[in-house]
Amino acid sequence: GRAEEIDLGDWDRLMELNVTALFEMSRLAAREMMKKGYGKIINVASMLSFFGGLNCSPYAASKGAVAQLTKAFSNEWAGHGINVNAIAPGYMDTALNTTLMADQERYREITLRIPAHRWGQPEDLMGTVIYLASRASDYVSGAVIPIDGGYLGR
């Protein structure tokens, strides 16, 4: 919705879910990972971590915070063997986007900007998540990796 119409309670709930919960779960996980000297934390950011979006300022702000926490945690924990990265899904064909996809004009505008000519599917995220969870990414930390069909490059 429009920023001037958003209820502060809705803002607080979104921040609690996307920022505070991520902060607390990451801290708890890092404490255990530090004991082992190794770990992988993979956060879920968004393309809106990179730009403001339209009529979704609380969501964009929360996902911007996810990207910055990912980098800050990496700065603190990489020396303890903990890799902290994030994936940043682009426009995904999921229930979360039902309303946006129903707006034919906006759906068309977005799809035309995606070089892959389609919205992403949840399966499109798997390869990157598997990579970030594996030893193959042991020297990757603090990255926010877009999975967007090329949207950010256009």
Which residues have a catalytic role annotated? 59
d(CA 56, CA 48): 9
d(CA 67, CA 48): 10
Burial environment of residue 149 by CB neighbours within 10 A (0 to 12, 13 to 18, 19 or more): buried
Beta bridge partners of 42: 85
Contact 57, 65 (CB under 8 A): no
φ and ψ at residue 82, rounded to 5 degrees = -105, 120
Burial environment of residue 27 by CB neighbours within 10 A (0 to 12, 13 to 18, 19 or more): exposed
